[in-house]
A and B are shown apart, each in its own frame.
Chain A
Amino acid sequence: MTGMRGLSVFISDIRNCQNKEAERLRVDKELGNIRTCFKNEKVLTPYKKKKYVWKMLYIHMLGYDVDFGHMEAVSLISAPKYPEKQVGYIVTSCLLNENNDFLKLAINTVRNDIIGRNETFQCLALTLVGNIGGRDFSESLAPDVQKLLISSSCRPLVRKKAALCLLRLFRKNPDAVNVDGWADRMAQLLDERDIGVLTSSTSLLVALVSNNHEAYSSCLPKCVKILERLSRNQDVPQEYTYYGIPSPWLQVKAMRALQYFPTIEDPSTRKALFEVLQRILMGTDVVKNVNKNNASHAVLFEALSLVMHLDAEKEMMSQCVALLGKFISVREPNIRYLGLENMTRMLMITDVQDIIKKHQSQIITSLKDPDISIRRRALDLLYGMCDVSNAKDIVEELLQYLSTAEFSMREELSLKAAILAEKFAPDLSWYVDVILQLIDKAGDFVSDDIWFRVVQFVTNNEDLQPYAASKAREYLDKIAIHETMVKVSAYILGEYGHLLARQPGCSASELFNILHEKLPTVSTPTIPILLSTYAKLLMHTQPPDPELQKKIWAVFKKYESCIDVEIQQRAVEYFELSKKGAAFMDVLAEMPKFPERQSSLIKKAEDVEDTADQSAIKLRAQQQPSNALVLAEPQPVNGAPSPLKVPIVSGSTQDPDSVARSLSQPNGTIGNIDPQIPSPDLLSDLLGPLAIEAAPEAVSTDQHGPIGAEGVPEEVDGSAIVPVEEQTNSTELIGNIAERFHALCLKDSGVLYEDSHVQIGIKAEWRGHHGRLVLFMGNKNTSPLTSVQALILPPAHLKLDLSPVPDTIPPRAQVQSPLEVMNIRPSRDVAVLDFSYKFGTNMVNAKLRIPATLNKFLQPLQLTSEEFFPQWRALSGPPLKLQEVVRGVRPLALPEMANLFNSFHVTVCPGLDPNPNNLVASTTFYSESTGAMLCLARIETDPADRTQLRMTVGSGDPSLTFELKEFIKEQLITIPMGSRAIVPAAGSGPAQPVAQPPSPATLADDPGALLAGLL
């Protein structure tokens, strides 16, 4: 190893090479030399072989292919003497990969070295297998390596290598290692005294439990013991104490292993662990010595992740957040970096968000950190923590940062700013401001999607149009503006410039002049937009301004012979049309509103971040309901905006001749064009450049905020479907499926199902009788889930369409599967998702109810008394209006009950009923058969006995009335059966001291009539 002169000489030669060419020559010469020597084996001494092999490795590192000597290298392994054997092993593990055929030839020799008595040979062999051993090795060597690992006669040096070698074999073939009794052996191994062996064994354990934690549950208390031993510094030799800290690596590994167990059930183990964690959290200070700092914080950050994983008591959690808050402002950059990263991770735990917000200003400061790594973390965190309350501050900071950020970050930054602005804008004019600033500051990094989106918003919101136009006009005064700015301002001014006509500098001819100044600076794709704008300006000038007309015609004339077909066509068409007077006005009328679409930005962001599973975007998508901007009233897309609006501004796909022909018809009214030109195509063509990915709308129709868990009725539904557990001895369910389902009935995003391998999240948007759900299926493992199947078992009243789910979910990946829902008629039945996958050899199957419940098709609606009573009276009685006395009601105070009703979109109308113990509520139900249908409800409670009430429900459809009544009842009572005593309303029965209005004088059969009488 020392004093290999030939190698040193060669390295010096390489170092003396003046350039890459000289180096290549020297390397080629050496390779030639080595090749000749290897051919002439007789003169090749072991020393020479070793020297050449090291030269080969050095050459390999320099980046040259060494494609010979593989066979020789492998054959050296079987040499009887150490030096040759060593060389054989080293070169083989450096140059060959596990699929190399030569390697298979060596399995037997390697095995002989492993089972032999020579420890040095054992180490060499284990190192080879641990580095490049493949499946073949796994099958033939795993038992031998296991024997070495647990052997009491072996030195620690060998055993720790055996542990890691076994880890490699396990990765190649888990079954070879997971044999009967191995879990017990593993638990025994964790009692090991030698820290080196213990560290390797713990690494092995991490791999084993990440695959199947149940089998290794006996190792859990052992890990806690190890942590106790280290944290008390018991029996830790000096050489394993690193800057005063007992082996930080082992502490970290043991805590990592614990994070693969879903929970810790045994109370004494849990208590012991929490004591250790508490000591770590409290006892770590920032000190001067960098290395000591790093080591102690390695342990501390691992402890933080473990605390987050264990979902510890609130107190400990807030302690963690407080620590993180401290970290993000310390001087030590590594700790700042990890503090920010862990805060982003912590956002997943919902009730710490408010505490994190307290650190907002510090996080914003980190955006100006000299270290780009830290700035990126800060950006991720800001993006993750943004919501309606702080969007303005955060987005404005991002905009400010944009002008100084390095180029590599600008694209991400502008995309994130645009998304946040869209999702959380407190008002639309602010949104327009943000996007225009974005274009102004970083035009090169603003994709077309972003300006398309702003145009959509402006088009769909009339209030916004004058504002947007005046803003666009302001930017035109700047000396140099980005081409994207030219596009967006030209478009907006063309459409809405006339709204500014009375302001100085905004007359049509002034707008034309300032826009036309930009024309020489723009590229070909922008010119057609400018031409359209000119045409629109011309059209809006009433009475016509001959001066302006002359100028614009001159422009059209000029482009009539343009080589670009799109420009030429527009020029010709606009020129001809502008002579047509009234027809011109029709053709160039204002653009129709856009159908609502999913923001492609958000979609794009999801795509971009698809791979990084910690990405803030993904976290947000899963954790938070979309607060996306609500577009203007959903415009009933009648699909037929006057055909006259469309044909002329056609795209290049249009045959110019046909237009020219029709235009040249002598009396050709424009209407004649219609039959020749399929207008829907044109429409889409016209919208083409503005259309943003046709994926359905992500903008939520405001389903109210998420409803806290308190609002979830404790419904005990016998039909709760449980996963088929018998088959899944290695799969542990996390959380209660029924509870998750009930929570999701009242909110639109959250986790539907989770076990130790997979998490299924759901996000839903509802509009009328349509719903769009997205299932997020995430593989939590480091190995893929296979045979993934998701089938929908729909009830009769729902039409469901689930996009195909891939057969395999790669490790740590998430797949998304949209599910379209259509409600055909009222029913309380639910759809079931039959989900199954294979993990290792285990088949796991779960049948999950999909939260597409009746209430999702309700739209909140508040009525005044003038609206309510006529409707209420019009519903005369059964079957349209049903009444029932309900007993066994979960006792609720009236305001709580009102909240409950509001939470499933049956809006309580306060003040309608003069009796303060009663509630009156209304809602609109959507289904294909009923259309939008008004539903009314009245609840009369008895202040003396909160467990019973009288309920009256009415609607225009008998089945809807019945289903809604039953649905409300289910929400109100604790036990669905038992008290289904349906007592006809009137006070005939003796057992009815219930919800009688307090004033007996006004007792009437129909509470509606009663109500009406009172008012």
Chain B
Amino acid sequence: MIKAVMMMNTQGKPRLAKFYDYTPVEKQQELIRGVFSVLCSRPENVSNFLEIDSLFGPDSRLVYKHYATLYFVLVFDGSENELAMLDLIQVLVETLDKCFSNVCELDIVFNYSKMHAVLDEIVFGGQVLETSSAEVMKAVEEISKLEAASNSISLVPKSVSGWRGR
């Protein structure tokens, strides 16, 4: 099971964090900081694995990938295959790349809600939901359309309710 998905920049600022076991907010921050402090000291061209039993307890594993100014991190337990998890990060990044055409950190910062939508189509309750970025894109676009449709509708009631409010 996947325990957490994190994205943070190379300064350690979290950009997205999702924990699949309930984790209080202070604990989340502590874990993010802990992971970052190990990540930032790693040189280039080393493996993508980290031993983090001290942070997440026994039998937990961590894989990460470093893209430009961002770290993508997955934490999971022994029931998952390490390299398959690494591939999943790649799927996530490729999907984001398609969403934002050449994704950069700013896209991720300012499209916070879309990030969640993408992630929710890939990882579901700590399990791999979808591995085809084409399928993920389809699902995300469907949601966008629905929202766009309801947004345009909501403009009317908004003004109406505004009127009535007065």
Contacts and interface: CB of A to CB of B under 8 A. Distances in A.
B129 A200 contact: yes
B81 A206 contact: no
B101 interface: no
Contacts of B43: 370-371
A7 B115 CA distance: 14
Given A2-B114, A248-B84, A373 B127 contact: no
Contacts of B130: 160, 196, 199
A1 B114 contact: yes
Given A157-B139, A294-B86, A294-B87, A11 B110 contact: yes
Interface stretch (A40-48, A454-462, A738-746, A946-954): A40-48
Given A15-B109, A203-B127, A242 B87 contact: yes
A336 B90 CA distance: 20
A196 B125 contact: no
A167 B87 contact: no
Nearest to B85: A298
A149 B120 CA distance: 19
Most chain A beta-carbon neighbours within 10 Å: one of B46, B50, B81, B86: B81
A131 B151 contact: no
A926 B83 CA distance: 56
A546 B165 CA distance: 108
B83 A81 contact: no
B131 A613 contact: no
B59 interface: yes
Contacts of A613: 58-59
A161 B142 CA distance: 16
A195 interface: yes
B38 to A, nearest CB: 9
Contacts of A83: 147, 150-151, 154
A168 interface: yes
A249 B116 CA distance: 22
A202 to B, nearest CB: 10
A192 interface: no
A11 B112 contact: yes
A812 B78 CA distance: 10
B144 A81 contact: no
A167 to B, nearest CB: 6
B83 A294 contact: yes
Interface in A874-899: none
Contacts of B42: 371
Given A47-B154, A242-B131, A613-B59, A42 B165 contact: yes
Interface string B111-151: 11110110010001101111111110001001110111011
A291 B87 contact: yes
A169 to B, nearest CB: 10
A741 to B, nearest CB: 31
Given A47-B151, A54-B113, A127-B120, A61 B14 contact: yes
A45 B158 CA distance: 6
Interface in A82-97: 82-83, 86, 90, 97
Contact of B127 (A200, A291, A812): A200
B161 interface: yes
Nearest to A255: B81
Contacts of B88: 249
Interface in A795-843: 812
Interface in B52-86: 53, 57-59, 78-79, 81-84, 86
A11 B17 CA distance: 16
Contact of B25 (A65, A239, A376, A812): A65
Interface string B2-44: 0000000000001011001010011011000000000000110
Contacts of B131: 196, 199, 240, 242, 247, 249-250
Contact of A130 (B59, B124, B146, B162): B124
A7 B134 CA distance: 28
A198 to B, nearest CB: 11
Interface in A190-212: 195-196, 199-200, 203, 206, 210
A239 B46 CA distance: 30
A54 to B, nearest CB: 5
A63 B29 contact: yes
Contacts of A168: 125
A491 interface: no
B83 to A, nearest CB: 3
Contacts of A612: 53, 58-59
A122 to B, nearest CB: 13
A2 B111 contact: yes
Contact of A371 (B29, B47, B90, B114): B47
A249 B87 contact: yes
B47 A374 contact: yes
A98 B20 CA distance: 11
A264 interface: no
A333 B46 contact: yes
Nearest to A53: B113
Contacts of B82: 298, 301, 334, 338
Contact of B124 (A46, A161, A334): A161
Contacts of A196: 129-132, 135
Contacts of B20: 131
B48 to A, nearest CB: 6
Contacts of A782: 79
A250 B127 CA distance: 12
B97 interface: no
Nearest to A611: B58
A90 B39 CA distance: 30
Given A42-B165, A130-B124, A61 B146 contact: no
A151 to B, nearest CB: 18
A443 B42 CA distance: 27
B46 A373 contact: yes
A42 B135 CA distance: 39
Interface string A712-726: 000000000000000
A527 interface: no
B87 A373 contact: no
Given A252-B81, A295-B83, A373-B50, A1 B143 contact: yes
Contacts of B139: 157
A239 B142 CA distance: 18
Interface in A751-787: 782
A82 B46 CA distance: 46
A167 B125 contact: yes
B65 to A, nearest CB: 10
A297 interface: yes
Contacts of B143: 1, 86, 120
Given A15-B109, A168-B125, A333-B45, A63 B83 contact: no
Contacts of A383: none
Contacts of A206: 79
Contact of A298 (B51, B81, B113, B117): B81
Nearest to A333: B47
A338 B49 CA distance: 9
A60 interface: yes
B86 A127 contact: no
Nearest to A58: B112
B125 A376 contact: no
A132 interface: yes
Contact of B129 (A57, A161, A611): A161
A125 B142 CA distance: 16
Contacts of A250: 131
19 contacts: A2-B147, A7-B113, A46-B154, A54-B112, A63-B26, A131-B124, A161-B124, A200-B129, A247-B131, A248-B84, A295-B84, A298-B84, A333-B45, A336-B47, A337-B47, A338-B82, A373-B47, A611-B59, A812-B78
Given A2-B144, A199-B128, A334-B47, 16 more contacts: A1-B114, A11-B110, A42-B165, A45-B161, A46-B150, A61-B16, A82-B147, A127-B120, A161-B124, A164-B129, A295-B84, A297-B83, A302-B81, A333-B48, A611-B58, A612-B59
6 tightest CB-CB pairs across the interface, nearest first? A298-B83, A130-B125, A371-B46, A97-B22, A333-B47, A611-B58
